[in-house]
A and B are shown apart, each in its own frame.
Chain A
Amino acid sequence: MAAPDLPERGVGIGWRPEIAGFVAALPGLRFAEVIAESVHPARPAPELAELRDRGAAVVPHGVKLSLGGAEPVAAERVAHLAACAEALRAPLVSEHVAFVRAGGIEAGHLLPVPRTRAALDALTANIRRTQAELPVPLAVEPIASLFDWPDAEYAEADFLTELLDRTGALLLLDVANVYANARNRGEDPLGLLDRLPLDRVAYCHVAGGTEQGGRYHDTHAAAVPAEVLDLVAELCARRRPPALLLERDGRYPPAAELRAELDALAAASGFPAVT
């Protein structure tokens, strides 16, 4: 099942309040993403509404739905995601292949699911529950994780492909996560890229990270490393995604540096510069 012909949106950036002025001033921007839990659907931030009204696609990106949790997704969280999509007139919404709470305890971050039949069943059920309430398609993003569960029953590509086949969900492929996981596992990132259904990619994330104690942490608080830009070029040589989005979540650099990051992403993908 191939993805629909999503319109090409080119290079985008994750909208955050700290860089709202920078984002608003990008002349060629046609694509942005906002953390869904930070949006008030009845009164979205004026800068977000302005982006929407000038025709940019603004995609709500959920981080607390816990699609991979054994518990059913909370109806009010799904309703919020749907309300965000309506308010921003978003062409799609996205969430993660992850769980964030269990037994009433918040993990504080996205945690990996075991690559087992049981986890696949729980994810499938939660994604379908979510899709049933959404006015637009859902894309799901495999996460970066420093560790894996023991006793995996599936290779990562097989697990994701089966999940997408079962649910009809689109893939939000985070190129930096592919890089981080491969590096921390001592694997070749191209090995995963070559086995994923790239025709189902709705858009891609790209971000920077830092190495600490021999592990690469996907912090979104540093410049995108050259290796990740190389992987973007490799991906685009295979099948260019409709859009590529830069994520930055802290230690915001001066505008000139952020512009250079966006330009490097455009250069690596062949999309026009948005700066």
Chain B
Amino acid sequence: MSGPFAPGSDPGFDPGFDPGLAAAQEALVRAMTAGGPLPDGFDAGAVGAAAHGILLKRAGEVARAWPALAASYGTSWRAAFTGWAARRPTRGSFRDGWDFARAHRADLGRDAARELALAEVRWSYDGVSPPRPRRFAVRRAPGGVAVRVRGYIRVFGRSAST
């Protein structure tokens, strides 16, 4: 460190990896995000309140990343998202929203479906690995098709008579 302080009394100190601490932390995270059992000794009500607070924060972050998706649920967005996400740890708000949209594809309104179609022409995402940018793709979108060619995205509508 190049700050104005001497390091602590033993600069070479390295306790090494502590498997007990790692396991305890993982058990708590699983309990809070993945439906795991609450480890002994914790206040279930307080941990549950904290976990719900995290879900609400995630709902807000996903709404910023996927505004049409959240808007299509109106005032029930928080309840819909937190219910779905309660046992799914976050993989980032972009993927959380994408996973939610795919799981609810049949229910999506026009704007939310278009938002998903635009994401799907821009990125390749198998639901497992992080999304990667596409070079070329065509997807159905409400009112036509979305096409991505070399960085450009266009939505082509059907003719006015349809």
Taking Cβ atoms with an 8 Å cutoff, the residues of A that contact B are 1, 4, 69-72, 92, 99, 101-103, 105-109, 111, 114, 116, 118-119, 121-122, 124-125, 128, 131-132, 134-138, 145-151, 165-168, 184, 212-213, 215, 217, 219, 250
Provide the residues of chain B in CB contact with A151, threshold 8 Å. Answer: 41
Taking Cβ atoms with an 8 Å cutoff, the residues of B that contact A are 1-9, 11, 13-15, 17-22, 24-26, 28-30, 32-34, 40-43, 46-47, 49-50, 53-55, 57-58, 60, 89-92
Q: How far is the CB of B89 from chain A (nearest CB, A)?
A: 5
Q: Which partner residue on chain B sits nearest A184 by CB separation? A: B46
Q: How far is the CB of A142 from chain B (nearest CB, A)?
A: 16
* Interchain CB contact under 8 A, B57 and A137: no
Q: Which partner residue on chain B sits nearest A119 by CB separation? A: B21
Report the bound CA distance from A128 to B53 in whole Å: 31
* Interchain CB contact under 8 A, A106 and B8: no
Which listed residue, A4, A99, A135, touches B4 by the CB 8 Å rule?
Answer: A4
Q: Which partner residue on chain A sits nearest B60 by CB separation? A: A250
* Interchain CB contact under 8 A, B60 and A168: no
Beyond the given A103-B22, A118-B18, please list 20 additional residue pairs across the A-B interface where CB-CB is below 8 A: A107-B29, A108-B55, A108-B57, A114-B21, A119-B21, A124-B8, A125-B13, A125-B14, A128-B1, A134-B2, A134-B3, A137-B3, A138-B1, A146-B46, A146-B50, A147-B46, A151-B41, A215-B46, A217-B53, A219-B53
Provide the residues of chain B in CB contact with A219, threshold 8 Å. Answer: 53
27 contacts between A and B (CB under 8 A): A69-B25, A70-B19, A70-B22, A71-B22, A102-B22, A102-B25, A103-B22, A105-B29, A106-B89, A108-B33, A111-B32, A114-B24, A118-B15, A118-B21, A124-B8, A125-B14, A125-B15, A128-B13, A131-B1, A146-B49, A147-B46, A147-B47, A167-B7, A168-B5, A168-B8, A212-B49, A250-B60
Q: Which partner residue on chain B sits nearest A120 by CB separation? A: B15
Report the bound CA distance from A124 to B13 in whole Å: 9
Report the bound CA distance from A219 to B60 in whole Å: 12
Report the bound CA distance from A31 to B42 in whole Å: 39
Which listed residue, A71, A109, A114, touches B17 by the CB 8 Å rule?
Answer: A71
Q: Which partner residue on chain A sits nearest B58 by CB separation? A: A108
Report the bound CA distance from A167 to B92 in whole Å: 31
* Interchain CB contact under 8 A, B1 and A122: no
Report the bound CA distance from A188 to B54 in whole Å: 26
Provide the residues of chain B in CB contact with A69, threshold 8 Å. Answer: 25
Provide the residues of chain A in CB contact with B24, threshold 8 Å. Answer: 114
* Interchain CB contact under 8 A, B53 and A109: yes
* Interchain CB contact under 8 A, A168 and B9: no
Provide the residues of chain B in CB contact with A217, threshold 8 Å. Answer: 49, 53
* Interchain CB contact under 8 A, B42 and A149: yes
Which listed residue, B9, B17, B60, touches A166 by the CB 8 Å rule?
Answer: B9
Report the bound CA distance from A256 to B24 in whole Å: 46
Report the bound CA distance from A70 to B26 in whole Å: 10
* Interchain CB contact under 8 A, A108 and B54: yes
Report the bound CA distance from A151 to B21 in whole Å: 13
Task: List 9 tightest A-B contacts by C-beta distance, closest first.
Answer: A150-B41, A168-B5, A103-B26, A137-B3, A70-B22, A131-B1, A147-B46, A102-B25, A121-B15
Q: Which partner residue on chain A sits nearest B57 by CB separation? A: A109
* Interchain CB contact under 8 A, A131 and B7: yes
* Interchain CB contact under 8 A, A106 and B22: no
* Interchain CB contact under 8 A, A147 and B50: yes
Q: How far is the CB of A209 from chain B (nearest CB, A)?
A: 10
Provide the residues of chain B in CB contact with A147, threshold 8 Å. Answer: 42-43, 46-47, 49-50
Q: How far is the CB of B135 from chain A (nearest CB, A)?
A: 24
* Interchain CB contact under 8 A, A99 and B25: yes
Q: How far is the CB of B44 from chain A (nearest CB, A)?
A: 9
